[in-house]
Amino acid sequence: MTLTDAQIRVTEPDFYFYDPHATYKKMREQAPVYWHQEGGFWILTRFADIEQVSKDAESFSVATGVILTDVLKDHDYLSQMFPEGSENFSVLDPPRHGQLRHLLNFAFTRKRINSFEPRIHQLVSECLDGIANGDVVEVVSGLSIPVTASVIKAFIDCDDMTVEQVVEWSDDVFRMGSDISLDELNETVERIKPMFDFFMQKVEQHRKAPQDDFIGRLIESELDNAKLTTMMIEVFLQTVMVAGNETTRNGFSASLRLFADHPNQYELLRKEPELAQSAVEEILRYHNPTIGFLRTAKKDTDVGGQVIAKGERVYLVYGAANRDPTVFPDPDRFDITRFVDNTKTHLTFGRGPHICIGMALARLEMRILLQELVARFTGFELAGEPVRPDTLLGNGYTALPMRFRRTG
């Protein structure tokens, strides 16, 4: 049976709500490089094809948009979220991409990432210690948001920013992945102007009273033989804050949901807590925090036996790649031991020059969450209907009520 756009509803948010993996399976088997006629782009679902395109920056570009709404609305939504005249390495191709990304390398060293471990343990503990046996907690607002937002504001040395500000501004930026009009986009851009004002004030304070921290290091950095402008520093702060908060938040919530759905795997983790890191990788494989991104062909390029013509777009569906049976045997089974001895990793963080710069921090946060959970709780279960976001970008929850069962 020939697959059709009516079955492959990737342009509709509710397609992702109700287990799209049966459709992904059909696509990998019947049309792994599928032309979506309505949307006007190719869809990739095989691991090898998505890995190829992600690595090949000579043939595929991010500069003409990376989110699905860019195609559907024929407008670069992401770029409009940044001040006019600024540069964002997320939508730049090499070599410029590398020149900007390099300026953040100091912040993502292993030593600096690991220095946040005590703080993360403290934040997770503060959220979990107050949960009694049988309590029902909405884990997005009660755990995922306060921990990940607090970590990222500390990471960029903006401790005076409130959790509410992190969430409000991040959610506004992520609206670019929703079905909003250009007028609504312009309203959103207006709403995030206070964020840039906040960052500008932080930069000005640091210029007057230099500090050796995240902002201070950016102030001393150079691009094109000149110090970074305040605008560029603001863009770096926004990019790290949003990317480092939204996706990890989704990973936190997915962890609770998956262990509620697979209590035998949670019991295994309780018995063998040393499996925590492998469990993190399996959570990220099984429930990708981000749905997918676009690339545009810079020249005619063969992908999986199909020529992608210059100028055509390809949609990389990471969740589909992470269930590819040629890479992951029995891919629909949630197995926290899968990555113990497996040198092959998932595609959740991407590949190539645009691989997620903050993946080590996300992994650390999620590992600590699991360690603190098994130290306190025998399990948890759904206590109400989960609510998913109306978006084509983030793969998470806006509400996830869970009942917790405590040890002892």
What's residue 69's pLDDT?
A: 85
pLDDT range class, residue 1, cuts 50, 70, 90: low
Start-end of H helices in 9-159: 21-30, 47-55, 68-72, 77-80, 96-101, 110-114, 117-128, 139, 145-155
With respect to residue 5, please indicate whether it lies within any of the assigned structural domains: no
Report which of residues 275 and 82 the model is more confident about.
Answer: 275
Can you give the pLDDT at residue 380?
94
In contact, 136 and 383? CB cutoff 8 Å: yes
Q: Does residue 142 surpass a pLDDT of 80?
A: yes
1 lies in a domain?
A: no
Query: Is 363 inside any structural domain?
Result: yes
pLDDT in tens, 227-282: 999 999 999 999 999 988 889 999 999 999 999 999 999 999 999 999 999 999 99
For residue 4, being part of any structural domain is answered with: no
Q: What is the pLDDT of residues 170-203, one digit of tens each?
A: 998 888 777 777 888 888 888 999 999 999 999 9
Q: Are 235 and 87 in contact (CB under 8 A)?
A: yes
8 A C-beta contact, residue 316 and residue 21: no
pTM beyond 0.85, yes or no: yes
Q: Is residue 51 part of a domain?
A: yes
- Cα–chain-centroid distance for residue 143? 17
Q: How far apart are CA 322 and CA 282, in angstroms?
A: 10
Are the beta carbons of 236 and 103 closer than 8 angstroms?
yes
For the stretch 325-371, pLDDT in tens is 999 999 999 999 999 987 779 999 999 999 999 999 999 999 999 99
Q: Give the pLDDT of residue 178.
A: 79
Token pair in block for residue 391: 């978006």
So what's the pLDDT on residue 18?
83
Mean pLDDT of 87-91: 91
Structural domain harbouring 133: 13-406
Residue pLDDT, tens place only, 23-80: 999 999 999 999 999 999 999 999 999 999 999 999 999 998 898 988 887 777 667 7
Supply the CATH number for residue 393's domain.
1.10.630.10
Could you tell me if residue 282 is inside a domain?
A: yes
Query: What stretches of 292-358 show up as alpha helix (H) in DSSP?
Result: 318-321
| Tokens 């925590």, residue located | 276
Establish how many alpha carbons lie within 13 A of residue 404's alpha carbon, considering only the half-sphere containing its beta carbon: 24
Choose among 303, 355, 283: nearest CA to 46.
Answer: 303
Residue 253 lies in a domain: yes
* Structural domains of the chain, count: 1
Mean predicted confidence (pLDDT) in 101-129:
97
Q: Judge whether 8 lies within some domain.
A: no
